[in-house]
A = this chain, B = another copy of it.
Amino acid sequence: MVTKKQGKNVLTDEYRYKILKELQQDPEISQRELARRLGVSLGKTNFCLNALIEKGLVKADNFKKNPNKTRYLYLLTPKGIEEKITLTQHFLQRKLKEHEELAKEIERLREEIKP
């Protein structure tokens, strides 16, 4: 559960959003599986996830019996749920803009090919 070491530009809005989303729909997910879904390394995933925990957006509960080690349930905290909603809205706005830009780019490319 250690953090430190590694810049702060690692946990972008995009990863924050994606991780919160994945955890919300499957809190039993492992870090390896999460890494696979995000398309990044285990190390980076571990770092980002712990950053979210540190920020209080995610709580890592132990499960499987009562003991207190290995294997977590990654649950969004109320603050995490709120943050995820905000991020989703921002993300949508960004994607809309990108979509528009892409349309322009495509028009440009078609123009370029035509003559």
Task: Please give the residue numbers on chain A whose beta carbons come within 8 Å of chain B beta carbons, in ascending order.
Answer: 21, 85, 88-89, 91-92, 95-96, 98-99, 102-103, 105-106, 109-110, 112-113
Contact = CB atoms under 8 A, between A and B. Distances in A.
**Chain A, interface SS category:** helix
B92 A99 contact: no
Contact of A99 (B21, B88, B91, B102): B102
Contact of A113 (B88, B98, B110): B88
Contacts of A89: 113
A106 B100 CA distance: 12
A77 B92 CA distance: 43
Contacts of A106: 92, 95-96, 99
